[in-house]
């Protein structure tokens, strides 16, 4: 991933780099186990001072998403919730066939002193626990970005075909206290604060499974931004205030003052109408697309030009959806 920094911007360069790093991790461009570029490498790429980059890396460590390995570097942390974490954390070859994987796992348990009966119980207990957790699925995000939760909810319900409930983070512990078992789904952006919330609550965490999903890398949308004419207006419309903030930062870091950006949530009717009147191009998430088209149609002849409306990809990555389906026993 190439990082773009506008050194003459009012936005601190450290924040520009931090947001882009966070996006790379959340969209799995930097997957668990990935070694972050050294401060020297990143300084050469961005022109930033190594001390500035070091402070950004310290901030990322504070989120719990990366960890420093002395003498080696800084790595994206495996949170222990990825579907393949058992493979990643052991010496099992991921290229083995299913029967060989089971056989090698069993051999490992036997070598550690477990009996066949105990090993069988361990397998059955794990499978039974996952089935029970799959009976109730919650999506959670901080209340300040409930729009992201609504977006995730719509996409998951459509993709999974099962009931999914949205619970803001401030109410998650009380909701889970009423559940014997559940699966909690959140964006990788918020996994740290979700785990901290559960750890500080009275919820019996052994009956709760937390799974982070990866967001899209928005490669097509970012490629479009690179091609837009200088001094043109680009509108960004989404249910999520968080998505809009990140999108604005990414566009600014790539193009600086070359583009004029107008970002709004669909519930802000005044700003949405201003956006469709001024923007040459509007990028909208799927959930907001119909509202954008309705606003354009309602404006009718008042528009000097009809903006080009681009439907963005789904918020949650397809691979992440498929992994979640397997975790929930849906495929």
Q: pLDDT tens digit string along 51-66?
A: 999 999 999 998 888 9
| Strand 260-265 versus strand 281-284 pairing type | unpaired
Phi, psi dihedral angles at 34 (to 5 degrees): -70, 135
pLDDT of residue 87: 37
Report, as an integer, the average pLDDT of 211-236: 92
Q: Tell me which of 294 and 130 has the higher pLDDT.
A: 294
Give the list of residues 6+ apart from residue 105 with CB closer than 8 angstroms, or none. 92
Check residue 196 and give its pLDDT: 84
Q: What pLDDT, on the 0 to 100 scale, is given for residue 204? A: 61
- In the chain the beta strands, taken as DSSP E runs, fall at 66-69, 73-76, 137-139, 165-166, 182-187, 208-213, 233-238, 260-265, 281-284, 308-311
pLDDT at position 203 is: 67
Instruction: Copy the structure tokens of residue 23.
Output: 């996006």
Residue 124 has pLDDT above 70, yes or no: yes
* Res 85: pLDDT: 38
pLDDT tens for each residue of 252-269: 999 998 999 999 999 999
Over 70: is that where the pLDDT of 163 sits?
Answer: yes
| Residue 99 pLDDT > 90 | no
Mean of per-residue pLDDT scores for the chain: 87
Do 284 and 239 contact (CB within 8 A), yes or no?
Answer: no
To which H or E segment does residue 88 belong?
A: helix 85-88
pLDDT at 80 over 60: no
Q: 315, 243 in Cβ contact below 8 A?
A: yes
Query: Quick one: what percent of the chain has pLDDT higher than 90?
Result: 53
């Amino acid at each position: 991933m190439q990082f773009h920094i506008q050194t003459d911007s009012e936005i601190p360069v450290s924040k520009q780099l931090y947001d882009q790093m966070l996006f790379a991790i959340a969209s799995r461009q930097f997957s668990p186990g990935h070694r972050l570029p050294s401060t020297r490498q990143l300084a050469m790429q961005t022109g930033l001072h190594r001390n500035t980059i070091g402070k950004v890396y310290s901030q990322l460590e504070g989120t719990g998403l990366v960890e420093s390995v002395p003498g080696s570097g800084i790595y994206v942390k495996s949170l222990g919730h990825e579907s393949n974490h058992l493979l990643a954390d052991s010496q099992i070859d991921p290229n083995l066939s299913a029967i060989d994987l089971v056989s090698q796992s069993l051999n490992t348990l036997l070598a550690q002193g477990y009996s066949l009966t105990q090993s069988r119980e361990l397998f059955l207990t794990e499978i039974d626990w996952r089935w029970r957790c799959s009976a109730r699925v919650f999506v959670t995000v901080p209340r300040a970005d409930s729009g992201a939760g609504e977006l995730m909810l719509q996409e998951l319900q459509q993709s999974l075909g099962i009931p999914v409930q949205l619970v803001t983070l401030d109410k998650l512990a009380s909701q889970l206290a009423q559940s014997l078992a559940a699966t909690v789904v959140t964006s990788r952006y918020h996994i740290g604060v979700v785990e901290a919330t559960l750890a500080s609550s009275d919820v019996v965490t052994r009956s709760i499974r937390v799974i982070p999903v990866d967001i899209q890398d928005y490669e097509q949308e970012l490629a479009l931004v690179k091609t837009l004419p200088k001094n043109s207006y680009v509108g960004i419309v989404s249910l999520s205030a968080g998505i809009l903030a990140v999108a604005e930062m990414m566009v600014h870091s790539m193009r600086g003052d070359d583009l004029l950006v107008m970002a709004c949530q669909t519930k802000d009717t005044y700003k949405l109408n201003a956006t469709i009147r001024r923007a040459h191009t509007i990028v909208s998430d799927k959930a907001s697309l119909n509202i954008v088209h309705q606003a354009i149609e309602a404006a009718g002849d008042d528009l000097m030009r009809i903006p080009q409306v681009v439907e963005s990809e789904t918020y949650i990555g397809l691979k992440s959806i498929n992994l979640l389906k397997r975790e929930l026993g849906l495929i």
